[in-house]
Amino acid sequence: MTVTGPDRSGVTAAFFRVLAAHRVQLLDVEQSQFRGRLALAALVGFNADNEEMLRVGLTETMRAYGMQITVELSEELSPTRPMSTHAVVVLGSPVTAQHISAIGQTLADYGANIDTIRGISDYPVTGIELLVTVANPEPGGGVSLRKALAQLTASLGIDIAIERAGLQRRSKRLICFDCDSTLITGEVIEMLAAHAGKEAEVKEVTDRAMRGELDFEESLRERVAVLEGLDASIIDDVARDIQLTPGARTTIRTLKRMGYRAAVVSGGFIQVLEGLAADLELDYVRANTLEIVDGKLTGKVVGEIVDRAAKARFLTEFAADAGLHMHQTVAVGDGANDIDMLSAAGLGIAFNAKPALKEIADTSVNHPYMDEILHILGISREEIDSEDLAEGTYRRVPLSAQS
């Protein structure tokens, strides 16, 4: 039985009141409301002798509410609802019918069926989530589809993420961020180098390291060397100038409400990040340590270098400390030195990343808004805004200034 029409108070109660009068057994029910329109469907069992009276009673009752009803009879049960194997999240500004058409055709080409569609975001980008069932539901069965959707991402200019649906998707409880050009908009080493008049020189080395063309430790020591002799007070100046990536505060606040642990692992410097980590209430922070002697930077770092391998190891340590399995972790980064960390995580997200990282990441975000990570995890804008309104933290700022 399917009821459709304008949503009004009392429609659902009236529908079930008629069913109750005829001692109907409920087998499955679903109701949805879309911008003032109601759709209510029920799979029921009843005595065939009551069919006509039930049909008449429903038709007359629903007509009084301005609703239409259809009844389909069968002596065999309809197939059970599909258990979707994957979630596909589409994010863009804008998302057009052409985009969804291309994605739908690609899904069909690989034998995947779209089970449900819902809108999950209207800000800062449009977000649509499709729950789908792939032809081969076994682990790894969606690999070829994932590659095809990744190619669409580039050609359509939107972000498309796909991951397995079900409990595993909802079980994630630790997120670990790279810092420079991920959690924050700039590169701390370049900001420090600017005080030495060597910003352009250091940026060139940074770019090569992030592309994977240089060993990270070697490049770090080379860049830090130019800071020799600078007054340590510049650390505080740089810390004050740090700008969070748009949506970073919202993302961390929302995930921590859900019980997530949040971490940052950076090839930058702990002296610069300590205040930021405290402000964001991060649970774990790891970064390099600048050597300071007599109030001056020596141009050296002390202790273990936080390089590509160390980032992955720290993620593993954080998960163990939190009592989590690795499939419950999310890692977000932008450069080649994040490859091991994203590979180790249950979900690796390349954030406006270099090609070397995109190649191995589970999915990529190519818009400058960290909120997209929430939508990839299946969290809707409505849920985010509802909690922010309740706690007095709600705001929608111009996108160029969003944080």
Indicate if 178 belongs to the active site. yes
Out of 178, 307, 338, 371, pick the active-site residue: 178
Q: Give yes or no: 122 in active site.
A: no
Out of 28, 115, 159, 180, pick the active-site residue.
180
HEC-encoded secondary structure of the chain:
CEEEEECCCCHHHHHHHHHHHCCCEEEEEEEEEECCEEEEEEEEECCHHHHHHHHHHHHHHHHHCCCEEECCCCCCCCCCCCCCCEEEEEEECCCCHHHHHHHHHHHHHCCCEEEEEEEEECCCCEEEEEEEECCCCCCCCCHHHHHHHHHHHHHHCCEEEEEECCHHHHCCCEEEECHHHHHECCCHHHHHHHCCCCHHHHHHHHHHHHCCCCCHHHHHHHHHHCCCCCECCHHHHHHHHCCECCCHHHHHHHHHHCCCEEEEEEEEEHHHHHHHHHHHCCCEEEEEEEEEECCEEEEEEECCCCCHHHHHHHHHHHHHHCCCCHHHEEEEECCHHHHHHHHHCCEEEEECCCHHHHCCCCEEECCCCCHHHHHHCCCCHHHHHHHHHHHCCCCCCCHHHCC
Q: How far apart are CA 375 and CA 89, in angstroms?
A: 7
User: Which residues are known to be catalytic?
Assistant: 178, 180
